[in-house]
Chain A
Amino acid sequence: MADVKNQEEVLILGIETSCDETAAAVVRNGRQALSNVIYSQIDLHTVYGGVVPEIASRKHIEKINQVIQKALEDAGTTLEQITAVAVTCGPGLVGALLVGVAEAKAIAFASGKPLVGVHHIEGHICANYLEDKELEPPFLCLVVSGGHSHLVMVHDYGAYEILGQTRDDAAGEAFDKVARAIGLGYPGGPKIDRVSCEGNQEAIAFPRAKLEDSVYDFSFSGLKSAVLNYLHDCERKGIKVCQADVAASFQKAVVDVLTEHSLRAIEQYRVKKFAIAGGVASNAHLRAALQEACAKRGVAFYRPAPILCTDNAAMIGAAGYYEYQKGVRHGWDLNAVPGLKLGERI
C-alpha cells in the first residue's frame, strides 16, 4: 500500500480497545495512517441498549490478533519495521483497556520495541493531525463523544489545558438516552442525526444549560430530563409525539450549547484555529453549525473524517508518535487507568 523503505521514518503500531471497537493501525510520522482497521462490536451490544463491558472485553480478546495482523498487512509492513507500539491505557472500560494494554506490552516485549501508553482523548484530538497534515498547535479543540465532552486548549504537542468539561452526561451519552426514550434505539448519535433531517428543530423549546461558575463547562442531564418530561407530558395528555421533531429540537439544543461554548472560548482566547474530535464530531448538524460559525469569524475549522472521529487506532498511532518523539517510554508494568485525566501522565 505504501512505500515504507525509508529508515528515517517513524512507524507506530497503534492499538485501541477502550470501549467496543477493537482497532489497530500503522501510522507514519504521526501524520499518515498507512492502515486503520476497526472491528466494531456495535451489533453485539445493540440488543442490550448500550455497551456491556464484559461482552466488549471478551470480544476484544477474540478479535485483537486478527485486527493487528490486518493493520500490518494493509500497511504493507512487518512487525520488524515498526518503530514503537502505542496503546490506549485510559480512560475507558477497565476490562476492555486491559486487553489492548496486555497485548501491546507482549508484542513490544517479544519484538524488542519501545512501548508508549496513550490517553484516549489525546488520541481523538490527534486524529486532526492525520486529517490535516499542516495543522499545528496551538489550537482549540472540542472533544465530544459517548463518554467525553471537553473543550481543550492544545498549547503544544502533548500539552493540553482543559477549559471546560461536562458536569454530568457526555454529549454522546445524552444522544443515546434520548434516542432510547423516543424509540430510536442504540446507538443514538447517528440515528438522531438522520431522523432530525425530517424534523422541525424549532418545534419544542428545550433548555440550554448555563453554568454560572464555569462558563466553559457543559451539563446535558437537564436537557435529557426535559426531553423525558416532555414525552411523559405528551403521553399523559394523549398527544402524539413526533419523533423527528423531538430529535431535531433536542439535537439543536446540544449543537447550540456546543457551538456557543466553543465560540466564547474562540473569542476570549483569540483562537485562530479550531478543531473538533470524538464520535459526536461526526454529527452532520454539529459540523455544519461549527463550520458556519468559524467561517463568519475567519477562524480555520478542522474536522476529521468520520472514520477518524469514531474510536480508532490511527489516532492512537498519531498521539503515540508525538509522545514517542518526546522520549516517552512505558515499562512492562504499564497498567490500564480507567479514570485517566486528560494531560495526566503515568
Chain B
Amino acid sequence: MKVLALESSGLVAGVAIMEDDVLVAEYTTDYKKTHSQTLLPMLAEISRMVELDLKTVDVIGVAAGPGSFTGLRIGSATAKGLGLALQRPIAAIPTLDALAYNLYGCRRLICPLMDARRGQVYTGLYRFAPENGSDRLRTLMPQCALSVDALIEKINGLGEEVIFLGDGVPVYRKQLDDKIQTPCGYAPAGHNRQRAASVAALAVSCAVRGELVSAADFAPEYLRLSQAERVRQEAQKAQKEGAQTGETP
C-alpha cells in the first residue's frame, strides 16, 4: 500500500511517501515561508526525486487537526484536491496522535503539546504498549484543548514519568518545570515537531482498518469554534440564564 502524507498543522510543513513499511521519501521544513508556498512545491520535489507515479498512490494521509486553522486548511484543501483528482480516499489522522507517534517505542507517558493560544494547549496523553512483537499507540486522554494547569494537574494525578514534545513545549517549559511533580523529559530535535512520516505510518494503519473518508466529505477537526460563533453562543447563554433568573419568583 502506498500512502502520500501531508502535515501542515503547525509551523512545520511536511510531506512523505510511504510504501508499506518503507519510508520512500520525506521532506520537512520549519521555516518562515507559509505552507501555501512550501507544501505543494515540497510534494512536487519529492515526487520528482523518487519518480512517483501519482496514480499508484492508494491513500492520502493528512494531519487533520487540531492546529493552526489556516495551516490545517492548506493541508486539507491540498489533500482534498489530490483526492479529487486521483479519486483516492483520505486517512484523517489526529494531529496529536501523529505527534505522539514520533516517540515510537518510548516506555514513558507521552504528552504532545501544541500552543493553542488563549492560555490553552492542544494536547493528549498516550502510551506505547507492546502487542504481537511491535508497539501499538494507546490513547489515555484523546486530543483536546486544555489549560496548561489542568493538564499539569492531570499528569501529577497519574504520577507517572512523562515526556513532552511539540511546539507548545518552549512556550510552557517554565510552567512545566515548576509544577510537574513526576520525573519528566523533553523530546529532542528531530522528534519534537510534527512529521509527515508519522502521519503516513498511522494512515497505513487507518487504511488497513478501513477507517477512511472520501475526499469530498473530509474536513479538519479544529477542536474549537470560530471566535464569532463562540461570542454568539456565550451571549445566547447569558441571555438564557438572565431570562431564567428573571423568571424566578
Q: Is A307's CB within 8 Å of the partner chain B?
A: no
Residue in A52, A99, A106 whose beta carbon sits within 8 Å of that of B226 in the complex: A52
**B75 contacts which chain A residues (CB < 8 A)?**
102
Q: Is B229 an interface residue (CB 8 A)?
A: yes
Q: Which residue of A lies closest to B47 (CB)?
A: A109
Smallest beta-carbon distance A213→chain B, Å: 37
Cβ of B40 and Cβ of A111 under 8 Å apart?
Answer: no
On whether the beta carbons of A106 and B76 are closer than 8 Å, the reply is no
Contact A105 B37 (CB under 8 A): no
Partner of B40, one of A62, A69, A100, A109: A109
Residue B140 at the A interface, CB < 8 A?
no
The residues of B that contact A62 with a CB separation of less than 8 Å are: 219
Nearest residue, chain A, Cβ from B228: A52
Evaluate contact between A104 and B41: CB separation under 8 angstroms: no
Point out which of B69, B70, B78, B84 has the most chain A C-beta atoms below 10 A from its C-beta. Answer: B84
Quick one: closest A residue to B88, CB to CB?
A: A110
Q: Which residues of B194-249 have CB atoms within 8 Å of chain A's CB atoms?
A: 215-216, 219-220, 222, 226-229, 232
Q: How far is the CA of A335 from the CA of B41 in the complex (A)?
A: 12
Q: Quick check: is B34 within 8 A (CB to CB) of the other chain? A: yes
Closest partner residue, chain A, to B40 (CB atom): A332
Q: Which residues of B contact A98 (CB under 8 A)?
A: 36, 70, 73-74, 77
Interface centre among B80, B83, B86 (most CB of A within 10 A): B80
A332 touches B77 (CB 8 A): no
Please tell me if the beta carbons of B80 and A61 are within 8 angstroms of each other in the complex.
yes
A79 at the interface (CB under 8 A from B): yes
Interface of B (DSSP majority class)? helix
Counting chain B CB atoms within 10 Å of each CB, which of A58, A79, A102, A109 scores highest?
A: A102
With contacts A55-B228, A335-B37 known, is A61 near B220, CB below 8 A? Answer: yes
| A: interface residue count bin | 35 or more
**B77–A333 touching, CB < 8 Å:** no
**A48 nearest CB neighbor, chain B only:** B228
Task: State whether A333 touches B37 (Cβ < 8 A).
Answer: yes
Compute how far the CA of A334 lies from the CA of B81 in the bound complex, rounded to whole angstroms.
15
Encode contact with B along A328-345: 1 for CB under 8 Å, 0 otherwise. 000111111000000000
CB–CB B78/A102 < 8 A: yes
A38 at the interface (CB under 8 A from B): no
Residue with the highest number of chain A CB atoms closer than 10 Å, among B219, B222, B227: B219
A107 contacts chain B at the CB level, 8 A cutoff: yes
CA of A62 to CA of B216, assembled, Å? 8
Is the pair B77, A99 in contact by a Cβ cutoff of 8 Å? yes
Complex: how many Å from CA A111 to CA B78? 13
Query: Using a Cβ–Cβ cut-off of 8 Å, how many residues does chain B contribute to the interface with A?
Result: 36
Q: A106-B82, A106-B85 are in contact. Are A58 and B226 (CB under 8 A)?
A: yes
Whether the Cβ atoms of B40 and A107 lie closer than 8 Å is no
Interface string of B55-95 (1 = CB under 8 A from A): 00000000000000110011111111111111000000000
Nearest CB of chain B from residue A64's CB, rounded to whole Å? 7
Q: Report B-chain residues with C-beta under 8 Å of the C-beta of A104.
A: 81
Kindly identify, within residues 46 to 79 of chain A, every residue whose CB is under 8 Å from any CB belonging to chain B: 47-48, 52, 54-55, 57-58, 60-62, 64-66, 68-69, 79
Residue among B39, B79, B220, B226 with most chain A CB within 10 A: B226
B222 and A58 form a contact (CB under 8 A):
yes
Q: Which A2-55 residues have a C-beta within 8 angstroms of B? A: 47-48, 52, 54-55
Q: In the assembly, what is the distance between CA of A99 and CA of B73, in Å?
A: 6
| Cβ B228 vs Cβ A106 within 8 A | no
Closest to B38 in A: A333
Q: Once the chains bind, are B54 and A333 in contact (CB under 8 Å)? A: no
Q: Which has the most chain A C-beta neighbours within 10 Å: B73, B74, B76, B77?
A: B77
Given A52-B226, A110-B86, A333-B37, verify A61-B81 contact (CB < 8 Å): no
User: How many angstroms from the CA of A344 to the CA of B182 in the assembled complex?
Assistant: 58
Cβ of B43 within 8 Å of any chain A Cβ, yes or no, is yes
Q: Is the CB of B228 within 8 A of A54?
A: yes
Report yes or no: A332 in contact with B41, Cβ–Cβ below 8 A. yes
> A63–B84 Cα gap in the complex (Å)?
13
Q: Given the complex of chains A and B, what is the CA–CA distance between A335 and B37 in angstroms?
A: 6
Per the bound structure, the CA–CA distance linking A47 and B229 in Å amounts to 10
B44 at the interface (CB under 8 A from A): yes
Smallest beta-carbon distance A37→chain B, Å: 14
Partner of A66, one of B44, B73, B82, B216: B216
Chain B 5-50 interface residues, beta-carbon cutoff 8 Å to A = 34, 36-41, 43-44
Residues of B within 8 A of A332 (CB): 40-41, 43-44
Of the candidates A55, A64, A68, A101, the one whose C-beta lies within 8 Å of that of B229 is: A55
* B228 contacts across to A, CB distance below 8 A: 48, 52, 54-55
Which 5 pairs, one residue from A and one from B, show the smallest C-beta to C-beta distance? A106-B81, A110-B85, A102-B77, A54-B226, A65-B216
> Which A residues fall within an 8 A CB radius of B?
47-48, 52, 54-55, 57-58, 60-62, 64-66, 68-69, 79, 94-95, 98-107, 109-111, 331-336
